[in-house]
Structure 1
Amino acid sequence: MEIKELQKIMQDSGVAGAGGAGFPTYAKLTDKADTILMNCAECEPLLKLHRQLLEKHAYEIMKTFNLVAETVGASEAIIGIKKSYVQTVKALQQHIEEFPRIRIHLLEEVYPMGDEVVLIYEATGRVVRPGGLPIEQGVIVFNVETIYNVYRALEKQMPVTDKYVSVVAEVSRPVTVRVPIGCTLDEVVEQAGEITTKDAVYFVGGPMMGRIGSGSDPVTKTTNAILVLPKDHLIVMKKQRTSSIDLKRAASICCQCNTCTDLCPRNNLGHPIDPARFMRAAANGDFRDLNPYLDSHFCSSCGVCEMYACPQSLAPRTLLADMKGGLRKAGIRPAQGVQPVPVQQSREYRKVPEERLMARLGLTKYDKDAPMDETLVAVPKVKILLSQHIGAPAQAIVKAGDEVTRGQMIAKPADGLSVGIHASICGKVTEVTDRYIIIAAK
């Protein structure tokens, strides 16, 4: 298969990164890659869907992964998977001899192993430069569900219409379910039985990098998990703090221990992100040296500094994110051509064990099985956002009153970086705006 042919299938089928920022997958394909890498590290604690999906559909996913490698001309295809995912590793090993180009790379149970810059170093020994892209090191990274969506597009001519989501924590029956894109978070959580806490809060995504969501929020192509938590849980309360107060707290109680920088995964890979230096400058209003502020561009927002490292429970990640957002709004872009310094020799001793991280965050009791149920959940209506990916929102090609079928394109890719959007249920279009399309089931 030619690269352009595969790109068109991916773009028309609406395939984007099934997690993170949702980068359109077709735009990653290039013949400059000598290595492709599949991320099965479940970057965040409590997330389970990628290992479950890979275990259940190992052959289909490996076959598609191998096809992508052949298409771009990559000499090696690596599956990065934590060695603790024993059953998934066994499923892969049953088929590995059929795909000589593929190798399995076993990873440690540390956070944030799923960060693609960290994963690339662990699996290949290559360091992506600060602000750089993996392809600069000859690598393309995909996650498991993204490759599964490519398989469905190629083999079943089925575009992306549904999403796998894990529902865990304060529910009577933790589960990973398959739901139509555009259904509500409430409808997803209903599949996990009863909520077992009063005044529950939905934490969407992982506990380290997720956000507080509303029950009426629609599921998108990047929705991976919903943690149902008590309103007074540590990670909920941290997320609800205000930056202005966090800055004052930093000025008054930061003990200058430097632990936030010592444990920073990107700093340990030689990137010029120094949370401790930034906190000193920001808390004291010190602008004599602008580098601590400008280097916020290189923060991955993994949250190790804020959620694990700081003994005073300060908020370096939040303040760095605010600074990064402010710089972006002001039109200040990251410096180009910044090269990393050598990887810290002490890096191996500064990794964050996921077991200890969960204990510190009060999540250990929620680390339970969440069996995968692949039965598609039926819902009465969906609200499908036109922007579920990085780049330009898709352009609606239906109008109110139109009858649509599941899988039908309802918004075409816009000019530039964009992918198509498809109906996730059969029914009638009831509303179309420049932001979303609502479909009521028949």
Structure 2
Amino acid sequence: MNIIETVKNAGIVGAGGAGFPTHVKLSAKAQVFIINAAECEPLIETDKYLMRTFPDEILKAAETVAEHIGAERRVIALKSKYQKEIEALQRAIDKNGSSFELVKMKSFYPAGDEQTLVQLVTGHSVPERGLPLDVGSVVSNVGTMLNVYEAMQGKPVTDKYLSVVGEVAEPIMLYVPIGTSLQECIDQARPQLEEYDIIVGGPMMGTVYRGSDIQDLTVTKTTGNILVLPKDHYLVKCAELSLSSIVAQTRSACIQCKLCTDMCPRFLIGHKIRPNMVMRNMYREKLITDDSEYEEIFGEAANCCDCGICEMFACPMSLSPRKVNVFVKTQLAARGIKPERNKTPKASADLPYRRIPTERLVARLDLMKYYHEHAEKCIPLTPNQVSLLMKQHIGAPGIPCVSIGDLVEKGDLIVRAKEDALSASVHASIKGTVTLMDGERIVIDKEKE
């Protein structure tokens, strides 16, 4: 069985992003293979833990993948401040005679953004709304590589490493079956508040959930971090703002300082995106009926990567160009407008000087209280029940291949990827009985001992 079939059968998707099925990404040929070890957002601990703990396994999988895609240049890109991780990887490289080089970068946000990373490593800017493959590169996450290694040993994706940080007794790493309740994960870290909200993911691009919603949330293949915050924290309040309020503020308070554009990472790698121009014209957005005029004025919003720098760092008026861009993108889609793409962007000469230092960003987000705390231990957790989403990836959901009442072993296939579609399989993460199937999730109760 070749590596593509191995990865597909294991149900591997991108562990550190949106969950793109890995077997599709690795079906291409590329000159450069980049392992993204930057841990893009502050406070997340997962990739650093994996690099310290499994450097040999990550490298073995990465070598196999690099050979398969024909990559001549092979890179692990990480921040220079990750000294323990650099030492662990360098030892593994030297011991195994690995062909990978370590590219060390300054600590800035969003260092782990694929397009930012490709530009930094290769000097080439990915085309607007394009893929790293468009400039001869493939990028994968360290967690994905660990899953590839385990697939090479015959183990499908059934478990997940994730960090729990913020208002907890101490930051911890957990190793849990996919489908584990997030509340159980949080309880393991001993939250220090009776009432709290959470961000699943990082503080910039993660999703805010109110305390009352946590009970319904479970670990997926892409869950990497849970940030526990007070209910009145700045980030929670920002998430509560309605779109109508944001648009009203934009129309009245934008001072056209242009900082949202000057600091935009997509603008800096040469993409045509000027958030300040979108903000300037929001007052008449509903008045424009002609599609060509709408595209001319608002089409650039399609190039927004949703990183949040404009709203969380750049804007002195605390406005949200990001959310305005999200709204405009829905309007472009509703009108059937597909703006033209610049396929040969050139990075700005100002790019190295406009990167946002991570520590300054953390201070702006009011998270310094948690910034210098790190998760050093990992706790395994086995719940009595798991609730597995049938779709944990970009693309089409798979086809269930179990029924209520079926007994399953850990690792059994329960959702088969659709053929001829962008899809991924799902496997049982504990041994037990299927007790619920509702079209979106499959619940398995642990076998009683």
Indicate yes or no: 2:121 matched with 1:123.
yes
* 1:9 paired to 2:6: yes
Over 3 Å counting, the alpha-carbon distance change for 1:146 and 1:341 in structure 2 is: closer
Instruction: Tell me the C-alpha RMSD between the 2 structures.
Output: 1.5
Cα deviation, 1:16-38, whole Å, max 9, x if unaligned, reads 00122100001012453011100
After TM superposition, the structure 1 stretch with the greater mean CA deviation from structure 2, 322-331 or 31-40, is: 322-331
1:303 — aligned with what? Answer: 308
Summarize the alignment of residues 381-392 of structure 1 with structure 2, pairs less than 5 Å apart. 381-392=385-396
User: What TM-score comes out, normalization by structure 2 length?
Assistant: 0.94
Aligned amino acid, residue 112 of structure 1: P
Q: 8 Å contact 2:14–2:22 — kept in the other structure? A: yes
CA distance in 1, matches of 2:412, 2:372: 37
Structure 2 residue 173 is matched with structure 1 residue 208? no
What is the CA–CA distance in structure 2 between the aligned matches of 1:265 and 1:154, rounded to whole Å?
A: 36
SS at match of 2:128: coil
The alignment partner of 1:129 has SS state of coil
2:260 corresponds to which residue?
A: 260
Q: Is the 8 A contact 1:168 1:175 kept in 2?
A: yes
Q: 1:372 to 1:179 in 2, by over 3 A?
A: farther
Structure 2 residue aligned with 1:55:
52
Task: Tell whether 2:375 aligns with 1:371.
Answer: yes
Cα distance between partner residues in 2 of 1:340 and 1:263:
21
Q: CA contact under 8 A between 2:63 and 2:98: conserved in structure 1? A: no
Deviates more, 1:419-428 or 1:89-98: 89-98
1:271 paired to 2:240: no
CA distance in 1, matches of 2:263, 2:382: 44
CA distance in 2, matches of 1:332, 1:284: 18
Aligned equivalents of 1:110, 1:328: Cα separation in 2: 32
Aligned pairs for 1:409-420 (under 5 A) are 409-415=413-419, 416-420=421-425
**Amino acid aligned to 2:391:** S
Shift of 1:334: 4.5
Against the structure 1 CA distance between its residues 259 and 413, is the aligned structure 2 distance closer, same or farther, given a 3 Å change threshold?
same
Count of matched residue pairs: 436
**Residues 372, 394 of structure 1: alpha-carbon distance in 2 compared, 3 angstrom cutoff:** farther
1:176 shift after superposition? 1.3
Deviations 1:200-246 (A, max 9, x none): 00111100001123322111111111110011111111111011111
Deviation of 1:327 after TM superposition, in Å, equals: 2.6
Q: Aligned to 1:271, what secondary structure does the other structure show? A: coil
Q: Structure 1 CA distance, aligned partners of 2:256 and 2:311?
A: 14
CA distance in 2, matches of 1:20, 1:292: 30
Task: State the secondary structure of the residue aligned to 1:326.
Answer: helix
Q: Could you tell which deviates more after superposition, 340-349 or 53-62?
A: 340-349
What percent identity do the matched residue pairs reach? 39
Which residue in 2 is equivalent to 1:70? 67
2:318 maps to 1:318? no
- Quick one: which of 90, 110, 121 aligns to 1:93? 90
Q: Does 1:358 align with 2:356?
A: no
Residue number in structure 1 paired with 2:430: 425
- In the TM superposition, what is the alpha-carbon distance from 1:368 to its structure 2 partner? 3.6
Tell me, in whole angstroms, the C-alpha distance in 1 between the residues paired with 2:378 and 2:172. Answer: 10
- Report the CA distance shift for 1:330/1:434 in structure 2 as closer, same or farther (over 3 A): farther
Q: Which residue of 2 aligns with 1:138?
A: 136
> How far apart are the structure 1 equivalents of 2:283 and 2:347?
28
Name the residue aligned to 2:282: 282
Query: Following the alignment from structure 2 to structure 1, what is the Cα–Cα distance between the partners of residues 331 and 125?
Result: 28
1:440 equivalent in alignment to 2:436: no
1:107 is aligned, of 105, 108, 117, to 105
**Structure 1 position 104, deviation (Å):** 0.5
**Contact map agreement 1:14 1:421 (CA 8 A) in 2:** yes
- The worse-fitting range, judged by mean Cα deviation, of 93-102 and 291-300 is 93-102
1:184 positional shift: 1.2
Q: Is the 8 A contact 1:269 1:340 kept in 2?
A: no
For 1:353 and 1:124, how far apart are their aligned partners in 2?
21
Q: Partner of 2:351 in structure 1?
A: 347
Maintained 8 Å contact 2:181/2:219:
yes
Secondary structure, in 3 states, of the residue corresponding to 1:94?
helix
Residue 242 of structure 2: aligned partner: 242
Question: What's the TM-score once normalised by structure 1's chain length?
Answer: 0.95
| Higher deviation after alignment, 285-294 or 422-431 | 285-294
Which amino acid counterpart does residue 275 of structure 2 have in structure 1? P
- How much has 1:333 moved relative to structure 2? 3.4
Residue equivalent to 1:328? 333
Give CA deviations for 1:389-427 in whole Å, capped at 9, x if unaligned.
011101110000000011111110113111110001110
Give the letter aligned to residue 211 of structure 1: T
Call closer, same or farther: CA 1:420–1:372 in 2, change over 3 Å: farther
SS at match of 1:260: helix
Structure 2 alignment gaps of length 5 or more: none
Matched residue SS, 1:345 = coil
Given residue 123 of structure 1, which amino acid in structure 2 is its aligned partner? V
Query: Does structure 1 residue 163 correspond to structure 2 residue 160?
Result: yes
Alpha-carbon deviation of 1:374?
4.3
Whichever residue aligns with residue 179 of structure 2, its letter is G
Deviation at 1:274, TM superposition (A): 0.9
1:153 equivalent in structure 2: 151
CA drift at 1:111: 0.2
Cα distance per residue 1:262-281 (max 9 Å; x no partner): 00011011101111111111
- Larger mean CA deviation between 198-207 and 297-306 belongs to 198-207
Are the counterparts in 1 of residues 19 and 393 from structure 2 also a CA contact under 8 Å? yes
| Deviation for aligned residue 1:329 | 4.3
Q: Report the Cα offset of residue 341 of structure 1.
A: 4.1
